[in-house]
Structure 1
């Protein structure tokens, strides 16, 4: 029997999942006895949007526990802007060089998912949003995708491997509908057989017009109907949704809600939030553009130094009472009444703080209303 092609956790922890040039230069430096004390900072010169969400730090802390380094970072769930350092690592370069690939992978991907989820959460306003996109990613990273989406503000996720504490959400696949002799038989079976904790949300677009299937599903006990109409059949999607709402109301089902899914974008969520009760969002969250972080040396043996295009010297980001920020050299006096955003997580290889998923989520949600016009 073959094996599924994934990289195991042991290989990542051992620094074996890395770009080959890190292994090569470490070998050269070992031969020459070169191993300077350095500080490296992680920043993003460009973001997909004016702001993003910092995520993935928990995996970085797990990876570097026991490695003789110091790590300071913004807490997970922090709102980030371009050119701000979000994380810094200090130590002997050879001791952590091979981990750069994994560190950036953790942060870039998770921050991209969390950022997309937060922007969609903001676009939805008071409408629930659920992450339905783990099938758009390799299953080996499903837990990461759902965790990042939850931190970004979604109300639930679909994948059963999501970390404990995240609500699971899902309706039914079209394949289920097609396994019964007719749609009424499917809906009735679901109403009878699903556990009492499962919402009676019925697909209403498998074979017939959405508004007619919606009314028939409501008659079979649906508390909500899901429209997952393929783009090739959509036409004017708003008109379809309005027709479904009209027919449900006029046939005596005003309390039956409308759940929309199927290739939704942030713009779709904003456009339909006034007539849709909840959204299932897939690729727009799971396939979100990564945050293009880079990890660069800013100090060697206590002296500021940086490559072209980067600012040398160790820095701190301070937040003012009105939410504005300023980035200054770490040695500079902190401005009055400001809060330093990069805080310790590892000291000499010992973890002094661990990111908590729900704290990170609350950090995002507490800031979203102030970002509405960003």
Structure 2
């Protein structure tokens, strides 16, 4: 019915690039199907404007490799990383995971790209609210994954029912323009939509109304404040670009008008195609942002996998293609700086970051909760710059 892969098809390696299935057959025919390798996942270069990225997707990688004859080392999910640092290493017979390389790269690359963009947005908004509104930009089959990636990256909430349910949080959102349009056409007054919204939704849902459907933003915001009074939590400005003008001045005008009439408690949220540049200009005047497309379709954090060691006659031999660093590596956190060293070398400083998650397909440590991963990301954001 939908052009999507089932979990079983992914686990079976059906989503692989065909040359991996052919490679497995070649190795088997040559009697090399028992050869063990160490395959490293890393990012050779980040998007031009990025200094760092956020590693996410580990939970799904663990589930994908569980039960296979491989050992998995990786950074804890949510770790900020830099160019050329190892993110994960899979150790085991190559034929055990060759047909899963495509899926693993897709998981880590997609997850990390969304989480990194979300983290950049959260770094910009600081203690203001950042909500992920990107579901309508994505195929519905992957909406929960995108919601999780955005939440892990630092977004304060997500809008879809299923995505929020899987995260164990409450979905967040306001109302669509369709609501006001229907009330305007059927009852002659779009403001009645706000009244009926207030009458209908549960009391613990914040009353945030959309204040830009037919009239000037300042006028609609004030109308809503007069109608709902203390029950009005905030107004959302989703003004289309063709009518937007200087958004900062619009927000300042709405804020001034609400304050002038005694509605200082009413918060102002901005949505509608906002990205880093707009948020940087508006973060001092707005109370929160609904961010969709720029997080759902972020610059790609291009993760690649390369064999870095091959076991020959019981010994691990460092080898890889040109342009890559051969050998199994460990990454150390040395008090604000990262140091990479050969795996068996004497510890240069600090604590090792790559830890074992699977041993011969068996989980050896508990995965943190999504909330714990998000909190870990937020702590790290406090010590980095965009």
TM-score interval, smaller chain = over 0.9
Q: Is this contact kept in 2: 1:58–1:354, CA < 8 A?
A: no
Aligned to 1:273: 283
Query: Which of residues 173, 177, 183 is equivalent to 1:174?
Result: 177
Aligned ranges 1:72-91 → 2 under 5 Å = 72-91=73-92
Supply the distance in 1 between the matched residues of 2:233 and 2:71 (Cα, whole angstroms): 53
* TM superposition shift of 1:354: 4.0
Aligned residues: 369
SS at match of 1:22: helix
SS at match of 1:41: strand
Supply the distance in 2 between the matched residues of 1:89 and 1:164 (Cα, whole angstroms): 28
Aligned to 1:41: 40
Q: In the TM superposition, what whole-angstrom CA distance separates every residue of 1:187-224 from its partner, at most 9, and x where no partner exists? A: 10011111112110000001111110111111221321
* TM superposition shift of 1:55: 0.2
Supply the distance in 2 between the matched residues of 1:261 and 1:164 (Cα, whole angstroms): 23
Supply the distance in 1 between the matched residues of 2:332 and 2:267 (Cα, whole angstroms): 45
SS at match of 1:313: coil
* TM superposition shift of 1:251: 2.2
Q: Is this contact kept in 1: 2:148–2:167, CA < 8 A?
A: no
Mind listing any 5+ residue stretches in structure 1 that lack a counterpart?
none
Supply the distance in 2 between the matched residues of 1:339 and 1:25 (Cα, whole angstroms): 38
Supply the distance in 2 between the matched residues of 1:215 and 1:56 (Cα, whole angstroms): 44
Q: In the TM superposition, what whole-angstrom CA distance separates every residue of 1:102-148 from its partner, at most 9, and x where no partner exists? A: 00011000001111111110100110111111211111111111111
Query: Which runs of structure 1 show a deviation greater than 2 angstroms over 4 or more consecutive aligned residues?
Result: 353-356
Q: Is this contact kept in 2: 1:72–1:345, CA < 8 A?
A: yes
Asked whether 1:26 is paired with 2:40, we answer no
Aligned to 1:199: 206
Supply the distance in 1 between the matched residues of 2:179 and 2:4 (Cα, whole angstroms): 30
RMSD: 1.1
Bigger shift: residues 187-196 or 357-366 = 357-366
Q: Is this contact kept in 2: 1:74–1:341, CA < 8 A?
A: yes
Supply the distance in 1 between the matched residues of 2:245 and 2:269 (Cα, whole angstroms): 18
Aligned to 1:368: 381
* TM superposition shift of 1:83: 0.1
Q: Is this contact kept in 1: 2:56–2:112, CA < 8 A?
A: yes
Aligned to 1:331: 344
Aligned to 1:350: 362
Q: In the TM superposition, what whole-angstrom CA distance separates every residue of 1:311-331 from its partner, at most 9, and x where no partner exists? A: 1000000111x2101111112
SS at match of 2:346: coil
Q: In the TM superposition, what whole-angstrom CA distance separates every residue of 1:243-298 from its partner, at most 9, and x where no partner exists? A: 11111122221211111111010121121111101111111111112310000000
Aligned to 1:251: 261
Aligned to 2:221: 214
Supply the distance in 1 between the matched residues of 2:261 and 2:180 (Cα, whole angstroms): 23
Aligned ranges 1:115-264 → 2 under 5 Å = 115-162=116-163, 163-180=166-183, 181=187, 182-221=189-228, 222-264=232-274
Q: In the TM superposition, what whole-angstrom CA distance separates every residue of 1:85-115 from its partner, at most 9, and x where no partner exists? A: 0000000011110000000011000001111
Q: Is this contact kept in 1: 2:85–2:340, CA < 8 A?
A: yes
Supply the distance in 2 between the matched residues of 1:123 and 1:52 (Cα, whole angstroms): 15
SS at match of 1:328: strand
Supply the distance in 1 between the matched residues of 2:330 and 2:299 (Cα, whole angstroms): 27
Aligned to 2:320: 306
Asked whether 1:101 is paired with 2:130, we answer no
Q: Is this contact kept in 2: 1:39–1:88, CA < 8 A?
A: yes
* TM superposition shift of 1:367: 1.0
* TM superposition shift of 1:358: 2.0
Supply the distance in 1 between the matched residues of 2:293 and 2:221 (Cα, whole angstroms): 25
Supply the distance in 1 between the matched residues of 2:300 and 2:202 (Cα, whole angstroms): 37
